Amino acid sequence: MFSRVGLLAGPRTMIMEALDVPDKSSFLRLVRWRKRRWAPVNQSKIFFVPERKPRNEEELKELKATYDQYHTHIKAIRTYLMHDLAKESHEKQDKSHVVEEARVFAELMEENKRWNEETARIREARQAMETASRREELMQSLINLEEEQRRQTVSADSAVRTEKELAKTFIDVDRLEEEIEKALNVRINYNFAIDLEGNKYIEMSDGSIELQAKTTEKQPEATQS
């Protein structure tokens, strides 16, 4: 390793002397070539553990305090500059921003007005349809109610006429004794005779015999399968 460094240092010195390069120059920079990042660890350093260097606690505390103070100052300066820049930018764009906001607000209000008008037209049309439908329903309900009342009136008139006809046969208190006497004098005989032809001979209340002929009903003929 030392021989390689010597060889590298030798030619470089000879080149510098040949080029007559000064010892100190802002245009001269020596580059130390390091190992590539993807190259593996050198065989001589695989198991090499570097010795930890002793630290000075007082120096570490002083460095930490100095770094914290520096970091705080830099952060404060950065924050101040950011606020100052934001304030300056806001002041420059304040008037134009207000004008732009007013224009956007006016456009939004106009759009909202158009939406409200369209919604109002739709609502009025819907309400008109609902009103017409409700009116038709009410008219149909009135017609049905009138028809029901008419049917009830006809039914009531028929019931009244029927009751009036039946009222003629009702027995008043004044005629109660007479009707009882009439019922007792009427003889009803539920016995009757039937001959071989099926004719009925019924005895009437006055003693006469009434012949009731047999009613012949045609029986359905049975179908032969």
pLDDT per residue as tens digits for the range 136-148: 999 999 999 999 9
How high is the pLDDT of residue 172?
A: 79
* Range 9-16 average pLDDT: 53
pLDDT per residue as tens digits for the range 92-105: 766 777 788 888 99
Using the predicted structure, report yes or no on whether residue 167 has a pLDDT greater than 90: no
How high is the pLDDT of residue 29?
A: 61
pLDDT per residue as tens digits for the range 30-56: 566 777 888 898 888 888 888 888 889
How high is the pLDDT of residue 30?
A: 59
Using the predicted structure, report yes or no on whether residue 86 has a pLDDT greater than 80: yes
* Range 156-177 average pLDDT: 85
What is the residue-averaged pLDDT of the chain?
81
How high is the pLDDT of residue 73?
A: 96
Residue spans per domain, the chain: 171-212
- % pLDDT > 90, the chain: 38
Burial of residue 203 (CB within 10 Å: 0-12, 13-18, 19+) is middle
Q: Residue-wise over 100-111: b if at least 16 C-beta within 10 A, else e?
A: eeeeeeeeeeee
Q: Which band of pLDDT confidence, cut at 50, 70 and 90, is reported for residue 4?
A: very low
Cβ pair 205, 199 in contact under 8 A: no
The H or E element spanning position 200 is strand 200-203
Q: Which residues pair with 200 in a beta bridge?
A: 194, 212
Q: Which residue has the higher pLDDT, 207 or 64?
A: 64
How high is the pLDDT of residue 15?
A: 58
Q: Which residue has the higher pLDDT, 27 or 200?
A: 200
How high is the pLDDT of residue 17?
A: 64
How high is the pLDDT of residue 77?
A: 96
